[in-house]
Amino acid sequence: MFQCLALACLAIFYGCYFGKMLLQKRKGIQTDQIGKGKSGTAKQIEIVMKIATILVPFAEVISIAANTTALPYVLRIAGLILVSLGDLVFIVSVMTMRDSWRAGVSETDETSLVTNGIYQLSRNPAFLGFDLVYLGVLLMFFNAPLLLFSLFAAVMFHVQIVFVEEPFLVRQFGDDYQRYVQKTGRYLGCKK
């Protein structure tokens, strides 16, 4: 049961990710900006993040196929809830971003600062969605390699946000972004 549900959740998640990329490509938008047009630390961070996000699904699928688990049933159920929530958060965030959504930072594309919808609750709901999916699958099929790959990817998302995306957004949107930061949490929650 857990195997089929986990694979369905991953298919929904990555279907949204790659489906959105395909839809934007048809509009002439290059969604995958990871490592493109950058140099130095920003490029290195984005490339390492991309490698991490490629490794995790492989570790997830292998863990699902092996049906590995070291956790009790109740935590596997919690994992299923988290991975489903991660799908929902990611889908809503990508839909809310509309054509401003990019994987990685684009120094050349003109995009809008999105602060409505789910972005009122989180400045980074797409990353939060990834993290929830990773944590959910980890709880469902816990094993040491999956833990290491998932942690590595989550840390790389955080590094990407703090050292690449946020400085870019400050440069791109200035005071508007600073006001947004003052009222909305990086991952979850409103500041008041």
Q: How far is CA 20 from CA 35, 71, 109, 148, 172, in A?
A: 19, 34, 17, 28, 24
Is residue 8 in some structural domain? yes
Count of structural domains within the chain:
1
pLDDT, averaged across the chain = 89
Question: pLDDT tens, 15-53?
Answer: 988 888 788 788 887 766 676 777 888 889 989 988 999
Q: What is the pLDDT of residue 25?
A: 83
Q: Two tokens at 144? A: 């040491």
**pTM over the 0.85 mark:** yes
How far, in Å, CA of 39 to CA of 122, rounded?
Answer: 28
Q: Is residue 7 part of a domain?
A: yes
The amino acid at residue 46 is E
CATH number at residue 68: 1.20.120.1630
pLDDT at 33: 64
Give the domain range for residue 14.
Answer: 2-19+38-99+112-183
Write down the pLDDT at residue 97. Answer: 83
Task: Look at residue 173 and tell me if it is in a domain.
Answer: yes
Segment 179-187 shows an average pLDDT of 92
Residues 6+ apart with CB under 8 A from 93: 118, 119, 122, 125, 126, 128, 129
Contact 108, 34 (CB under 8 A): no
d(CA 84, CA 133): 7
What pLDDT, on a 0 to 100 scale, did the predictor assign at position 85? 97
Residue 144 lies in a domain: yes
Q: How far is CA 120 from the centre of its chain?
A: 17
Burial of 48 (0-12, 13-18, 19+ CB in 10 A): middle
Query: Residue 30: inside a domain, yes or no?
Result: no
Helix ranges (DSSP H) in the chain = 2-26, 40-66, 73-97, 125-140, 144-160, 166-183
Q: Is residue 168 part of a domain?
A: yes
Predicted pLDDT of residue 158:
94
Residue 125 lies in a domain: yes
The answer to the question of residue 77 being in a domain is yes
Out of 26-40, 50-64, 89-103, 118-132, pick the least confident.
Answer: 26-40
Cβ 116 vs Cβ 77: under 8 Å: no
